Amino acid sequence: MVEEKPNCKVILANNIAKRLLEEVHDGLKKIDRKPLLVGFLSSQDPAARVYAEWTGKTANENGFAFELRELDREVLEDALIDANNDDKVDGIIVYYPIFGNRQDQYLQQIVSIDKDVEGLSHQYIFNMYQNIRFLDDANTKKSILPCTPLAVIKILEYLQIYNSILPYGNRLHGRTITVINRSEVVGRPLAALLANDGACVYSVDINDVQTFTRGEGLRKRRHEVDEKPGWTIKDCLPISDVVISGVPGDTYKVPLEHMRAGAVCINFSSERNFTPEVKEKASIYVPAIGKVTIVVLLRNLLRMVQNKINAAEDAAQKAADEKAS
Amino acid sequence: MVEEKPNCKVILANNIAKRLLEEVHDGLKKIDRKPLLVGFLSSQDPAARVYAEWTGKTANENGFAFELRELDREVLEDALIDANNDDKVDGIIVYYPIFGNRQDQYLQQIVSIDKDVEGLSHQYIFNMYQNIRFLDDANTKKSILPCTPLAVIKILEYLQIYNSILPYGNRLHGRTITVINRSEVVGRPLAALLANDGACVYSVDINDVQTFTRGEGLRKRRHEVDEKPGWTIKDCLPISDVVISGVPGDTYKVPLEHMRAGAVCINFSSERNFTPEVKEKASIYVPAIGKVTIVVLLRNLLRMVQNKINAAEDAAQKAADEKAS
């Protein structure tokens, strides 16, 4: 039988970003002003500047106002507090690394929860790990998710790995996903998010393999983590439908020889973790996700502005009711 | 952590049938008459009569005319030839078993290919195995698929196991599916259809396990079959996303202890091949498919009527063109 070219659908982040932008544009139409995002650049890392410029460009092109404030890192904390208190500022993004140590995590917690478009506030991170999806008891105000893990989720939704036949919150039930990298910034929160949505996740790093799952029948309300002693990536790849890799640097490559034919592959590293041969074996390959991450940031900003408007309307209504009674 | 009830979505054939019926109703609106389906009952099997009555009821309720002809089996062949030649008859269905031997297969080939709503004509079966999707070179006239395997395909589409992000013809790429039963009537054609659409299929019967696949990267135009010496269902279930079982009789039960948590389970046996515990472990469970099969039959009938109308219009156009020139 004649062999044809391999069938792998390569999907560029740009196409996924476009669809998400349509949602954002629809939301913006219902607001009578341009939301203002303020970026704080105190990092010496050239990549941080590139990211800042890219945020500004995407924001401006899509109906948001963007202001970049370049500051000495020693005055950043006060500047953030000022921005927190400034009603004109809708969202705040800080470009890391700044001190490159735990002081950066301290600074992350300075940003007001109402303006933290990156979703790095402890309350958001706590809700994410605990699978608490709303900020209020009435379930009207959705919690914010950190941008890069959320970008991966949005990509998986676009790729229909999330099955909308299943109830919201369980739409990855039956999916087996390997996540390579367990950093606090992306890998671990991503593994938790996927498991909270019902997937069986193998979280792989240089030291070991862990499973994140809600158990058989998804009986648990949120994921639990189990060690897989003796397991390596070679055990995970043959049984995974989806392989998501984000190892920094240009030396790491996913060992494709162990991967299941027809797997869905997503790279969130700034380098390519998959060799070009991935197209010989995968059903879908997403080589980079950066453009989706920026749109997710704008989407978070929009949600915060909507929350603010809703809260103001509720307060006005309450005041009117009190006056009337 | 408190354990909750298991999350398994049980989907009844009725709901899937409803959506397919909407399609059929839309198609019927574009036709100025009631298509006539004629059923031939020469079987002594009480199940055949039940099926005949059920076809009639569904046809009548949904805008089709149905006529049941009960005949001695010795005159059936001539009666089928008469119906083939009768322009008023749009579709023919014969209720088997009749002789219960190879004579039944002979009778299946008597029904005209233009009226064979069950899709049992050799040309249709050949096209199905060969992954030839159209009857004509211009790819305008779709080939007919046998009803029960097609019903399973329609169910998998409904369940979004087919991924519409992937190109038509490859939408099961990356799916691993176990089909239990390899009968010529359903099990083997179903395994072939699923593999032709891109799945890796483990076809299991009492004797052995075979794989049906188009190879890594779906490079082959149609599926190939390989033996898996030494394999049993215990090797297939832990790596399968979807488990489809159609073993006749009430003794066979799928060994759920080997099944992957979160699998999608579909039963096409008239008995239950899954014990109730399937709901503890599966993400989706479809307990029966009969109602979908009947709608697929009506869908095939509608397609044949559409083909006939198109052919008549083409012939009229051609005649007009010749007259004009």
From the list A198, A239, A280, which residue is nearest B216 (CB)?
A: A280
Q: Do B219 and A3 touch (CB under 8 A)?
A: yes
Q: Write out pLDDT tens, residues B199-258.
A: 999 999 999 999 999 999 999 999 999 999 999 999 999 999 999 999 999 999 999 999
Q: Which of residues 280-319 of B touch A (CB under 8 A)?
A: 280-281, 283-284
Judged by a CB distance cut-off of 8 A, whether residue B168 touches chain A is no
Lookup: tokens for A264: 């869905």
Can you spell out the DSSP letters for A233-290?
HHHHGGG-SEEEE--SSSS----GGGSPTT-EEEE-SSS--S-TTHHHH-SEEE---H
Q: How confident is the model over B16-21, as a mean pLDDT?
A: 96
ipTM exceeding the 0.90 mark: no
Please state at what angle helix A147-158 crosses helix A290-324, rounded to 10 degrees: 100
Residue B67 structure tokens? 């006529």
Residue B3 pLDDT level (bands cut at 50, 70, 90) = low
CA A253/CA B13 separation, integer angstroms: 45
Containing A298, the helix (H) or strand (E) segment is helix A290-324
Would an 8 Å CB–CB cutoff place B164 in contact with chain A? yes
Nearest one of A132, A283, A260, A122 to A193, comparing CA atoms? A132
Higher pLDDT, A2 or B306: B306
Interface contact B216-A158, CB threshold 8 A: no
Query: Cα separation of B96 and B41, whole Å?
Result: 8
Domains in chain A: boundaries: 33-115, 149-290
* Annotation: CATH topology of A149-290: Rossmann fold (3.40.50)
Distance CA B258, CA B234 (A): 6
Average pLDDT over residues B275-300: 96
At the top level of CATH, the class of A33-115 is alpha beta
> What's the CA gap between B223 and B199, in Å, rounded?
9
Which of B192, B254, B201, B243 lies closest to B221 in space, CA to CA? B192
CB-CB under 8 Å, B218 with A173: no
pLDDT score of A318: 86
Confirm whether A33-115 and A149-290 share one CATH topology: yes
Residues of chain A with pLDDT under 50: none
Picking from A192, A190, A176, the residue whose alpha carbon sits closest to that of residue A262 is A176
CATH (one of 3.40.1000.10, 3.20.20.105, 3.40.50.150, 3.40.50.10860) for B32-116: 3.40.50.10860
Sheet holding A200-204, edge to edge: A9-10, A284-286, A264-267, A242-245, A176-180, A200-204, A209-213, A224-227
B8 has catalytic annotation = no
